[in-house]
């Protein structure tokens, strides 16, 4: 997902005046670095393209969602499950654009005469790859794991971008797990088992990341719609906002506190200092303590400035500039979601 607002706070429950508000831009989560395990086989180190996390998308396409659901089908398999896959399962692991070996190709590799000393003497890379693949099939035979291993090498090169990197999407993470499972089947060593275990964990992390990103996108769409409703019909927004908060957090006292405070702020009704204290504590409970900044609406965030400023006027330059910008946008009938992020 593209850069978006991040909220970070230092909040003291004993004294609301110690609240420190900071505001910036950036990714909502640290990107998980993709693991690049080696693929040690008797054929030597495989020259695979480098991998990096897929660029965070603003939304998932229908095709992305289909691939995500397919990857989710494999995420709960154990090491033993992967090793004991049926022949038909190996075909299911291949995408629609997957380039497969033909039976004729495999027969040629199985029957190819490989010269002695080819590893040291063959300089042509294409010929070396041909001998390498032939040696591989002649050692293990025409089995699904061997086919997948060779096909994965070929498809990885095809999937690499101009920079030589492959985005690690849920689909590619699934391919990686299958490749490691094939290697572990062919070379049942502890080292290959660890490689497989690492990729299984990676697949889970990537799927969780993508699902979380999509949930945040849908949440932001709903909040943007509510913000537009506020501009057009404040009374309807008050009801809609309360319903949204209950849906997200449940019908709890903190939700009631926040909904009532937002109503007073939007309708310019008087608030007591105690209500400001209570609002900040409720906000802290729902978003700061729970490390759930992403689900806070920008209006709730703006209301923290109103609460703090009433208790003690904001004088620090950065928070004050942000506060002024929000007030100006509100006065002009501009959605808080249309405030330029690079200005903050």
pLDDT digits (tens, 9 = 90+) for 5-27: 333 333 322 233 344 333 333 33
Mean pLDDT of the chain: 82
Asked whether residue 180 falls in the same domain as residue 239, the answer is: no
Asked whether residue 8 falls in the same domain as residue 45, the answer is: no
Asked whether residue 286 falls in the same domain as residue 197, the answer is: no
Asked whether residue 286 falls in the same domain as residue 144, the answer is: no
Q: What's the total number of domains in the chain?
A: 2
Assigned domain for 166 exists: yes
The range of the structural domain enclosing residue 275 comes to 4-29+233-343
* DSSP SS3 for 74: coil
Assigned domain for 34 exists: no
Instruction: Record the pTM.
Output: 0.68
Distance CA(239)–CA(245), nearest Å, equals 10
Q: Which of 152, 174, 199, 155 is nearest to 36 (CA)?
A: 199
Reported confidence tier of residue 39, pLDDT bands at 50, 70, 90: very low
Asked whether residue 259 falls in the same domain as residue 324, the answer is: yes
Assigned domain for 194 exists: yes
Distance CA(58)–CA(276), nearest Å, equals 35
For residues 258 and 283, the answer to whether their CB atoms sit within 8 Å is yes
């Amino acid at each position: 997902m593209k850069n978006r607002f991040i909220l970070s706070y230092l909040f003291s429950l004993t004294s609301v005046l110690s609240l420190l508000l900071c505001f910036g831009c950036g990714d909502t989560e640290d990107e998980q670095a993709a693991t690049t395990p080696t693929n040690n086989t008797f054929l030597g180190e495989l020259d695979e393209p480098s991998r990096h996390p897929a660029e965070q998308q603003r939304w998932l396409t229908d095709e992305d969602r289909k691939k995500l659901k397919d990857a989710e089908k494999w995420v709960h398999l154990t090491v033993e499950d992967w090793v004991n896959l049926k022949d038909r399962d190996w075909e299911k692991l291949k995408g629609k654009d997957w380039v497969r070996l033909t039976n004729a190709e495999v027969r040629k590799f199985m029957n190819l005469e490989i010269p002695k000393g080819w590893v040291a003497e063959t300089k042509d890379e294409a010929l070396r790859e041909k001998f390498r693949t032939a040696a591989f099939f002649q050692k293990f035979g025409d089995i699904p794991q061997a086919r997948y291993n060779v096909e994965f090498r070929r498809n990885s090169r095809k999937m690499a971008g101009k920079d030589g990197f492959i985005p690690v999407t849920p689909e590619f993470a699934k391919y990686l797990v299958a490749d490691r499972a094939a290697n572990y089947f062919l070379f049942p060593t502890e080292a290959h088992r660890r490689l497989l275990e690492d990729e299984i964990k990676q697949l889970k992390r990537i799927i969780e990341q993508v699902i979380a990103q999509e949930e945040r996108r849908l949440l932001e769409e709903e909040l943007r719609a509510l913000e537009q409703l506020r501009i057009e019909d404040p009374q309807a927004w008050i009801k809609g906002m309360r319903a949204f908060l209950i849906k997200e957090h449940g019908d709890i006292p903190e939700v009631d506190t926040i909904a009532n405070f937002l109503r007073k702020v939007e309708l310019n009704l008087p608030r007591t200092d105690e209500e400001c204290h209570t609002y900040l504590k409720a906000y802290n409970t729902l978003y700061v303590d729970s490390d759930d900044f992403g689900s806070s609406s920008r209006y709730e965030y703006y209301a923290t400035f109103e609460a703090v400023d009433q208790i003690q006027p904001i004088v620090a330059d950065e928070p004050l500039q942000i506060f002024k910008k929000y007030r100006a946008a509100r006065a002009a009938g501009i959605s808080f979601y249309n405030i330029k992020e690079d200005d903050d």
